[in-house]
Amino acid sequence: MTRLFRGRHFLDLADFSKEELLFLLDVAADLKKRWLLGECPKILEGKIVALLFEKPSLRTRVSFEVATRQLGGESFYLGPQEVGLGKREAVKDVALVLGRMVDAIVLRTFAHETVLEMAKYSSVPVINGLSDLHHPCQVLGDLFTILEKKGTLNVKIAFIGDGNNVCHSWIVAAARLGLFLVVSTPERYKPSQCIWDWAQEEAKKSGAEILYEPDPRKAVQSVDVIYTDVWASMGKEGELEERIPFFLPYQVNEDLLAFASSEVMVMHCMPAHRGQEITDGVIDGPHSVVIDEAENRLHAQKAILSLLL
Ligand code: CP
């Protein structure tokens, strides 16, 4: 199985089969188990990873940097001021040059087209560290967290809030892995129709159930996991004031949790805007697993790097 990953890009969970995604999760679990025992196999010895980020980051940057170092490799960070991706220099040229010097590129950018172009011209694996369409590294870590906490992916998940990149990666993951996912967003902030239609076709093969329910109180009934994210991101931050009235009914708060199972687990990819999409009481409360979820980015990133490199 490991040979199937070598040299591939990691742009979208849809690029991987169900078996490959489950294998990535197995590797993440194994690497975490070994890390807890104080073992870090030096799988990346001699490898150099470039982190090319056009947007700020805590979890993605730190987890990739620490993962690379713990596995014996080295990484360096290129922020927006340094490269001027697509402005100072064409994406194609950056890809061609970096491909001669490093072993992998983690790219965090705005337009998903930039990720696709980088991958098209890069001779080394490109990892999508977030684009406007997908956040596959996040959702891989989230799947790992669900497996760790619930012992199975055979759970019901409700995504509450904005139909954004994280929501898209959840839809793709559910479709590929045959999961139950209910998406609850305001009508005008629904996920991409194109991704939705792809997922519904894919669900016919995988047995996934992917539903839309505009009422968040109905969406959280009888689910095992409630997942949320910020209400305005990826360059839409200036729309926040305009968005708030639409999103207020979708706040993950104590009132909403009253409609859910007493065992429900609450997840958030972070950074969280406390008092907006989630209240302090919920994010700091007994249902929340957000800090474990953030930690698991490290182990998921290790699995991705180990297999692609
Ligand atoms: N969830 C996530 O990607 O966090 P950062 O933006 O801090 O990397």
Check if CATH label 3.40.50.1370 holds for domain 2-135.
Answer: yes
Domains 2-135 and 138-294 share a fold: yes
Distance of alpha carbon 238 from alpha carbon 277, whole angstroms: 16
Average pLDDT over residues 79-93: 93
In which band, very low, low, confident or very high, does the pLDDT at 35 lie, cut at 50, 70 and 90?
Answer: very high
Check whether 112 has a pLDDT greater than 90. yes
Which atom of ligand 1 lies closest to the CA of 130? Answer: 3
Which positions are annotated as active-site residues? Answer: 108, 135, 138, 229, 269, 297
Find the 60 Cα to ligand 1 centroid distance in Å: 5
Cα Rg of the chain, angstroms: 19
Ligand 1 binding site (Cβ under 6 Å of any ligand atom): 57-60, 130, 138, 269-271
Find the 292 Cα to ligand 1 centroid distance in Å: 14
In which band, very low, low, confident or very high, does the pLDDT at 237 lie, cut at 50, 70 and 90?
Answer: confident
Identify the residue whose C-alpha is closest to ligand 1 atom 6: 57
Tell the CATH topology of 138-294: Rossmann fold (3.40.50)
Contact 78, 54 (CB under 8 A): no
Average pLDDT over residues 35-46: 96
Helix H or strand E encompassing 157: strand 156-160
pTM for the whole thing?
Answer: 0.97
Structure tokens at 261: 């199972």
CA-to-CA dists, residue 61 to 49, 188, 272, angstroms: 11, 32, 17
In which band, very low, low, confident or very high, does the pLDDT at 236 lie, cut at 50, 70 and 90?
Answer: confident
Mutate which of 137, 270, 283 to test ligand 1's pocket (most atoms within 8 Å of Cβ)? Answer: 270
Q: In the chain, what are the domain boundaries?
A: 2-135, 138-294
